[in-house]
Amino acid sequence: MIRTLIADDETLMRAGIRLILDTADDIEVVAEAPDGPSAVRACREHEIDVALLDVHMPGGDGLAAVPVIARESPRTNIAMLTAFGDDHNVAQALRAGAVGFLLKDTGPTELIRAVRVAATGESILAPQITRRLIERHLLSDSQDAEPAKRRIEQLTDTERDVLRLVTAGLSNAEIAQRLHMGTGTAKAHISRILTKVGCTNRVQAAILAHDAGLPAGP
C-alpha cells in the first residue's frame, strides 16, 4: 500500500482528493493536514510514502514544509498541488526536494497514476512542463555553472546518457528502451547518479544537468 498524506487548508479539497484516492486498491490515505507544520508532523508520525502538499496554506505553506520533510522523513516523496502558471513556487519546491507537481484540476485517473509514480521517486512533471520551468525560471536563477560541471564530471559516459534522458522527462522504462537495457538497470544507474552528484531525486538531477550545460535527450 502507498501510504499517502493530503495537505490542503480547504476541507472540501482534501475530501475530494481522498474520495478519488480511496478508489485505488493500492493507495491508502493515512493522514490529512490543514497546513505545512501539520504535514511535517504527519510525515514523521505516519511513515508517509507520498505527501500531496498545497503550495499556499495560511497556517504554514507547503513550500516551507518541503525541505523539512525531505530532511526529517527521507522515505516520503513530495508532490505539490498548485494552480497553473505558478512556476516560480514550483521551481522553488523542486530545488528543495519535491519530485514534481500536480495541477489542482488534475483528473481522477491522472491523480491516481501520479501518486503511484511519485511513490517510486520518479518525476511527475510532463516533459514539456519540465522544459518550460527550466527555461523560464531554473536557468535564470541558477548558480555558477562550474560547480555543477564538476559534479557531472564524476559520471561515466553511460550515466551521462541516462541523465540526459532523465532531464528530457523520460521514465525508467522509456530510458531502458532508448538505451537498450533492462528497466532495473536503468533504475540502478539513476540511483548511482543521484548518489554521485548529491541529489535527492531525479528532478534535482535534471536541474543540475541544465546548470552544467548537459543537453537533454539521447
Q: What is the pLDDT of residues 6-36, one digit of tens each?
A: 999 999 999 999 999 999 999 999 999 999 9
pLDDT tens-place string over residues 161-218: 999 998 887 878 889 999 999 989 998 999 999 999 998 777 778 888 888 888 887 6
Distances (CA, A) of 201 to 97, 99, 121, 191, 197: 7, 7, 7, 9, 11
Q: Where are the alpha helices (DSSP H) in 47-125?
A: 62-72, 87-96, 108-119
Structure confidence at residue 136 (pLDDT): 59
| C-alpha distances in Å from residue 64, one per residue of 30, 43, 50, 82 | 22, 14, 17, 14
Sort 141 into a burial class: Cβ within 10 Å, 0-12 / 13-18 / 19+.
exposed
Contact 90, 133 (CB under 8 A): yes
pLDDT over 90, % of the chain: 52
CB 205 within 8 A of CB 159: no
| pLDDT (tens digit per residue) in 27-83 | 999 999 999 999 999 999 999 999 999 988 988 889 999 999 999 999 999 998 877
Alpha-carbon distance of 102 to 110, in angstroms, equals: 9
Strand order in the sheet with 50-54: 27-33, 2-7, 50-54, 77-82, 100-103
Calculate the dihedral angle through the C-alpha atoms of 89, 90, 92, 96, rounding to the nearest 10 degrees: 140
Q: Where are the alpha helices (DSSP H) in 22-86?
A: 36-46, 62-72
Q: Are 201 and 123 in contact (CB under 8 A)?
A: yes
